[in-house]
């Protein structure tokens, strides 16, 4: 994860681009690591940042893929809804869902003010933080 994030920060690596025909590699890595540890979003973001997308297309693609992944997860979660004790934590689920909508609302407003370069740096920095926290066993 750190290697992919560094590709956005180190000037000599910034010019590397993934052609559309190479995105399947990113999808395979994202899916593999998503199944292994659940952090497929970091790899997906790293590959999408290098795909030459506009900031709107980058965010829309990431959100669409995340929604499809979450729909799959939710179908499994809801099939075990009562046996897993999810109903005991319904307030957390409602709060998390509400927070997602609030985040999307403010994110849309901020998107107009953010440049693609600042978005790339922010995503890369967060990927590095995630990788370090995973490596330390905190997450």
Assign 3-class secondary structure to the chain: CHHHHHHHHCHHHCCCCCCHHHHHHHHHHHHHHHHHHCCHHHHHHHHHHCCCCCHHHHHHHHHHHHHHHHHHHHHHHHHCCCCCCHHHHHHHHHHHHHHHHHHHHHHHHHHCCCCHHHHHHHHHHHHHHHHHHHHHCCC
Contact 42, 127 (CB under 8 A): yes
pLDDT of 93: 79
Give, for all 139 residues of the chain, the pLDDT tens digit: 777 677 777 777 666 666 767 777 777 877 787 777 666 776 777 777 777 778 788 888 878 887 887 888 778 777 776 666 666 777 887 898 889 889 888 888 887 888 877 877 887 888 889 888 888 888 7
Give the residue numbers spanning the domain of 48: 2-136
**Cβ neighbours of residue 89 closer than 8 Å, sequence gap 6 or more:** none
pLDDT of 37: 65
Q: How far is CA 32 from CA 24, 61, 128, in A?
A: 12, 19, 19
Structural domain count, the chain = 1
pTM over 0.85: no
pLDDT of 18: 67
pLDDT of 84: 66
């Amino acid at each position: 994860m750190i290697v992919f994030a560094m590709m956005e920060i180190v000037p000599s690596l910034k010019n590397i681009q993934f052609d559309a025909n190479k995105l399947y590699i990113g999808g395979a890595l994202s899916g593999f690591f998503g199944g292994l540890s659940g952090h497929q979003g970091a790899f997906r973001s790293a590959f999408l940042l290098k795909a030459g997308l506009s900031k709107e297309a980058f965010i829309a693609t990431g959100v669409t893929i995340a929604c499809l992944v979450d729909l799959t997860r939710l179908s499994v979660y809801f099939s075990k809804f009562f046996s897993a004790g999810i109903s005991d934590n319904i307030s957390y689920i409602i709060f998390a869902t509400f927070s997602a909508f609030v985040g999307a609302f403010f994110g849309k407003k901020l998107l107009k003010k953010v440049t693609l370069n600042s978005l790339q740096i922010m995503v890369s920095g967060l990927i590095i933080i995630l990788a370090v926290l995973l490596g330390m066993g905190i997450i």
